[in-house]
Amino acid sequence: MRTCGLLVLAAVTAATLPARAQTRAAPAKPETAVFAGGCFWGVDAVFRHVRGVTSVVSGYAGGGVATARYDLVSTSTTGHAESVEVTFDPARVSYEELLRVFFTVAHDPTERDRQGPDVGSQYRSVVFYRTPQQQAAAVAMIAELERATAYPRPIVTEVVPFERFFPAEAYHQDYLARHLTSPYIVYNDLPKLKRLEERFPKLYQRP
């Protein structure tokens, strides 16, 4: 009788193993965010240094495919904004943390149709939301920063639905890392990496 009892117990245990395995939390799926905050070189570099970010692509959003070329986008007539597509692991970094980096490190959200020395609608500040949750998070972040008077001027960042993203030309990708001594990079973008490390040391990583 004892042997039969052991065999029955073993069979029951084996039968329950797949069910238990299925209850384990599945790995978080990668998510994507799209931001525009002036020249994409610096914004690209900032997010490449954020822990949990797995890919960053510089490109264009807000306009059509036929005019998604740097020479045309630079005329400020195509509707595009120089943007970055950020793929991240939500188990390591949240969308809200990416928003905070975007608003407080990657660019100045109070400058309309410009960013530093760069002027034109292609340099405007935009959050292109992909889900209602991203939209709500962006609106909430702006409201929080406004309440805290984080800036002396109003935030002018647009929060608009994402439509399409067009990768920029190859020579724009990871531009900062390949032009560390460029005066533009030294003056405008390297200080952003320093701010990221100082303000968000737990998020900062070296690519």
Please give the positions annotated as active site: 39
Q: Which of 54, 63, 49, 171 is nearest to 101 (CA)?
A: 49
Q: What are phi and psi of 51, to 5 degrees?
A: -60, 135
Q: What are phi and psi of 122, to 5 degrees?
A: -70, -10
Q: Which of 130, 123, 131, 124 is nearest to 158 (CA)?
A: 124
Other residues' Cβ atoms within 10 Å of the Cβ of residue 161: 11
The answer to whether the CB of 34 falls within 8 A of the CB of 61 is yes
- Tell me how long the chain is: 207
d(CA 194, CA 33): 23
| Exposure string over 49-64, b if 16+ CB within 10 A, otherwise e | bbeebeebbbbbbbbe
